[in-house]
Amino acid sequence: MPGVLFLCIHNAGRSQMAAGFARSLSGDKVLILSGGSEPAEHVNPVAIEVMNEVGVDIAGYVPQKFNDELLKSVDVIVTMGCGDTCPYIPGKKYIDWPLDDPKGQPLDVVRRIRDEIRSHVEELLSQL
């Protein structure tokens, strides 16, 4: 089973939305993980709200720091704005999605980010 790790700084917005879409769209065919370099205490409530609007519930997930175990258990690592704080492991496929951070953004902006993420996730899953 292929595995994908979605990484951003706080693991509270972009990476959680991406993981939510990937879980929803892939069923049990892909291992989906997410993490951050500086995890927040909880998932961004606006991200939870906009994901609920499209039928994807990410409220039960907790931001976590990425670790070697997460990195080694996947084939693809998708980074979203973590720059130099994202790890590099030789032999892994890396993809960077230049997405705005939803933190502190109004609903309409977070909806746009959500829709961009969904498009990226759909493309990624079609390639796995």
Which residue out of 7, 8, 30, 46 is catalytically annotated? 8
Assess contact for 12 and 36: CB atoms under 8 A. yes
Let me know if 32 is a catalytic residue: no
Let me know if 50 is a catalytic residue: no
| Burial call 12-35: b when 16+ CB within 10 Å, e when fewer | bbbbbbbbbbbbbbbeeebbbbbb
Helix, strand and coil content of the chain, in percent to the nearest 5, comes to 40, 15, 45
Which residue out of 86, 110, 113, 117 is catalytically annotated? 86
Which residue out of 19, 47, 70, 82 is catalytically annotated? 82
Tell me the two tokens of residue 7. 């990484």
Strand partners, 76: 4, 93
- Strands of the sheet containing 93-96, edge to edge, are 31-36, 3-8, 76-79, 93-96
Let me know if 48 is a catalytic residue: no
Catalytic residues, by residue number, are 8, 82, 86
